[in-house]
Amino acid sequence: MWVRRVSIVIGMSIGLFLFDTPGASLAAAEWARVGGTHKYDRYVDMTTIGLSGHKVTIWTLRDFRVERAIPRGPYRSLTIKRQYDCSQRKSRPLRTRYYPDGMAQGHVLYAAPATHEWSRVVPGSDDDAEMKVACRQAHRG
């Protein structure tokens, strides 16, 4: 019986690892532009929307017009796994990845968990646009 439990735990661990690897989670991304500024365009990946109660999780992308830098090197885009609380109108970043090329292309320069702290979504902001898309899409299905 314990062998079966161990194999289930190992299988689940492998599945979670593959789900959170850069290639597995973003390989078939379906980026939809939701806003931006004069410095970057902002997108959401429509294939990653997940719903749990009033909370929606989705990968977002910032595609910069000019190269930027972190200690690991220059980057042109970053993805953020974000969670939105649709009823409370707040969001929090869960994971961030930096890429050397635009539209999350190239090898991951740096990946790390984010702060996980909730912040209020300001009406009319890019976060608001992302939240509206994520919440509307998640509650359709």
CB atoms within 10 A of CB 13: 10
pTM over 0.85: no
C-alpha distances out from residue 104 to 31, 53, 83, 114, 131, Å: 10, 29, 19, 18, 20
For domain 28-140, give the CATH number: 2.40.128.710
- Domain limits, the chain: 28-140
Evaluated on CA atoms 33, 103, 75, 17, the torsion sign reads positive
DSSP one-letter code for 102: G
pLDDT at 67: 97
**Helix (H) or strand (E) run with residue 66 in it:** strand 55-70
Say what the pLDDT of residue 27 is.
54
pLDDT, one tens digit per residue, over 24-70 is 444 568 999 999 999 999 999 999 999 988 899 999 999 999 999 99
Cα 127 to Cα 125: distance, rounded to the nearest angstrom:
5
